[in-house]
Amino acid sequence: MNTDEIGRLFREAGALLEGHFRLSSGLHSTRYIQCALVLQYPRIATRLGAQLAEAFANEPIETVIAPAIGGILVAHEVARHLNARAIFAEREAGRFALRRGFAIAPAERVLVVEDVITTGRSTREVIELVREAGGRVVGVGALIDRSGRALYFGVPLRALLQLDLPTYPPDACPLCAAGVPLSTPGSRYLA
């Protein structure tokens, strides 16, 4: 699939939302990408996972890890195509942790994947978690990179689609200033 086809899949699934959103990063935006609306279709999730896995096919990867919740299906599908295992990190007391019996062995080769990268904060936190566990991060993959700039993780970053979508700090958001109601569709701020 090329970037036009990937963009079409997201548009057809209604995954490119317009409004006033608080992103997981805390930034505000007029656009939100709800990857779950695309990933709900296993046939499409498998195709996207295969494409992202292909970008890392030359790396011997043992484990694919993602931050919960948005990246779980991405990790699963990428791992399927790399013949690796898939795990996820969950927030515990505000930090990502390995739970549910997941563990990373010393020097284990790990790929970190995301559904959408905006600032890279969650990705950096998961990278840190893997390194603290003794694992070796060999790359970062994402379905969509909406950062609008070159992010540096110290390992290769590959995204299927790059979108330059505006973001605003909450105190400089024109939608807040205009009184547009704010929506928080992501999982970071769930109680």
Look at residue 69 and tell me whether its pLDDT is greater than 70: yes
- Counting other chains too, the contacts that 118-123 makes at CB distance below 8 Å and 24 or more residues apart are 118/23, 118/24, 118/25, 118/27, 118/146, 118/147, 118/167, 119/25, 119/27, 119/147, 120/147, 120/151, 120/153, 121/24, 121/25, 122/24, 122/67, 122/96, 122/188, 123/67, 123/151, 123/153
Instruction: Output the pLDDT for position 52.
Output: 97
Reported as a single tens digit per residue, the pLDDT across 156-183 is: 999 999 998 888 999 999 999 999 999 9
Instruction: Give this prediction's pTM.
Output: 0.90
Could you say which architecture CATH assigns to the domain 3-177? 3-Layer(aba) Sandwich (3.40)
Spatial distance between the Cα atoms of 22 and 16, rounded to a whole number of angstroms: 15
Reported as a single tens digit per residue, the pLDDT across 31-63 is: 999 999 999 999 999 999 999 999 999 999 999
Instruction: Output the pLDDT for position 186.
Output: 66
Instruction: Output the pLDDT for position 188.
Output: 54
Instruction: Output the pLDDT for position 136.
Output: 98
Instruction: Output the pLDDT for position 190.
Output: 47
Enumerate the domain spans of the chain: 3-177
Reported as a single tens digit per residue, the pLDDT across 96-146 is: 999 999 999 999 999 999 999 988 999 999 999 999 999 999 999 999 999
Mean pLDDT of 145-160: 91
Instruction: Output the pLDDT for position 50.
Output: 97
Across 46-61, b (16+ Cβ under 10 Å) vs e yields: ebbbbbbbebbeeeeb
